[in-house]
Amino acid sequence: VLVTGGAGFIGSNLVDRLLTLGYKVRIFDNLYTGFIRNVPLENSNVEFFFGDILDRQALQEAIKGVDYVFHLAAMSKVVPSLKSPDMARFCLESNALGSWNVLEEARLAGRIKKVVYAASSTYYGNAPPPHKETMAGDFLTPYASSKFEGELQMHSFDQLFGVPTVSTRFFMVYGPRQPTTGAYAIVTGVFAKEAAEGKPLTIEGDGTHARDFIHVRDIVEGLILA
């Protein structure tokens, strides 16, 4: 099994679960937001490949002999994509072209049974709940549109080029190894850090905001079932 982004928050939790199920796991990560400390290098069933999904040669090496691909590598948050046109372009390249690269190398490998893609709830934008897979998208940010482009690539390769795929839209994920500072931290991580330091929790606005949260353990089980 290949996990792109396997040194990150969600990816490393997925790797841990796959190992307990008896799989041999390859981790492909550029450590842009992931950490080598999340990689269980002492486990003989783990291989780590340092590389970027924009580098097809590196991907080609990582995907050799693999049966399944979990594609989690991405520029993975909204805020960085809003900082400048250059960052918006980087987001598009990483999430759209990077996903195409993963799919094309999976096709060329000729043995991939399924590619499971980590899409995003940003697909829904400000649309009121309940949210359904079939409703039209509301793309408010470069990140949202780039992640949906990844979904479109998955659909195209599944329907046209013989690569079985599943796209899964994540909402706000929390749990072990979640970021607690910086642009990639969500409120649960910030609260956890403040609580651990004995500080009062920082409430933005009037405290009436609503958010959808899902534990990383449930995300991992959903990915495996996909």
Enumerate the active-site residues.
143
b (16+ CB within 10 A) / e for 78-104:
bebbeeeeebbebbbebbbbbbbbbbb
b (16+ CB within 10 A) / e for 3-30:
bbbbbbbbbbbbbbbbbeeebebbbbbb
Question: Any bridge partners for residue 18, and if so which?
Answer: none
Minimal CA–CA distance to 151: which of 124, 123, 110? 123
Helix 142-160 crosses helix 98-109 at what angle (to 10 degrees)? 20
**What's the residue count for the chain?**
226
Helix (H) or strand (E) holding 155: helix 142-160
Distance between CA atoms of residues 179 and 161, nearest Å = 37
- Whether residue 108 contacts residue 159, with contact meaning beta carbons closer than 8 Å, is answered with no
